[in-house]
């Protein structure tokens, strides 16, 4: 099982590097076929992190995936950083360091879920 986490974290780091390169060359809408797995992983990451607006953009016909990546580059980098942070420090550790006023909608939902799971919040 630890091997699986290492592979996933490695993929997240590859996504981060890929997004940084895309950000630098914002006009380019091409990537090599050997990078398709990274694009697929980005799409899957948006699904896992419940970022519906981004996922919906990826599903639009005739829109190249890099157009969507360029449109959402800042959010995608944030999602990737959060996912890497989850692996590095544990999701609770990083989330509970934030003030509620600094959290986005996803963070608040996760925060409430953790409180419910621990029996600290009853709704």
Are residues 13 and 63 located together in one domain of the fold?
yes
pLDDT for 6-55, tens place per residue? 458 889 999 999 998 888 876 666 777 888 999 999 999 999 888 999 99
Are residues 116 and 79 located together in one domain of the fold?
no
| Stretch 43-69: mean pLDDT | 91
Q: What would the DSSP string read from start to end of the chain?
A: -HHHHHHHHHHHHHHHHHHHHHHHTTT-----GGGHHHHHHHHHHHHHTT-HHHHHHHTSTT--HHHHHHHTHHHHHHHHHHHHHHHHH-HHHHHTTS-GGG--HHHHHHHHHHHHHTTS---
Does the model's pTM come out above 0.75? no
Are residues 104 and 70 located together in one domain of the fold?
no
Are residues 19 and 58 located together in one domain of the fold?
yes
Are residues 80 and 122 located together in one domain of the fold?
no
Please report the pLDDT score of residue 94 as a whole number. Answer: 65
pLDDT for 85-112, tens place per residue? 777 655 555 667 778 788 888 888 887 8
Q: Looking at the 3D structure of the chain, how many domains does it have?
A: 2
| Domain range enclosing 115 | 91-123
Please report the pLDDT score of residue 19 as a whole number. Answer: 92
Are residues 83 and 109 located together in one domain of the fold?
no
Please report the pLDDT score of residue 37 as a whole number. Answer: 93
Are residues 11 and 70 located together in one domain of the fold?
yes
Are residues 61 and 97 located together in one domain of the fold?
no
Closest to 96 (Cα-Cα) out of 122, 115, 83: 115
Are residues 65 and 101 located together in one domain of the fold?
no
């Amino acid at each position: 099982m630890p091997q699986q986490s290492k592979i996933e974290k490695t993929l997240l780091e590859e996504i981060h590097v890929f997004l940084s390169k895309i950000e630098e060359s914002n006009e380019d809408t091409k990537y090599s076929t050997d990078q398709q797995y990274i694009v697929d992983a980005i799409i899957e990451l948006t699904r896992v992190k419940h970022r519906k607006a981004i996922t919906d953009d990826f599903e639009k016909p005739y829109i190249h995936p890099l157009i969507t990546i360029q449109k959402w580059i800042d959010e995608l980098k944030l999602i990737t950083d959060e996912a890497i942070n989850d692996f590095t420090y544990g999701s609770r550790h990083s989330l509970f360091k934030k003030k509620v006023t600094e959290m986005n909608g996803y963070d608040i939902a996760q925060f409430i879920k953790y409180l419910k799971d621990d029996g600290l919040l009853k709704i």
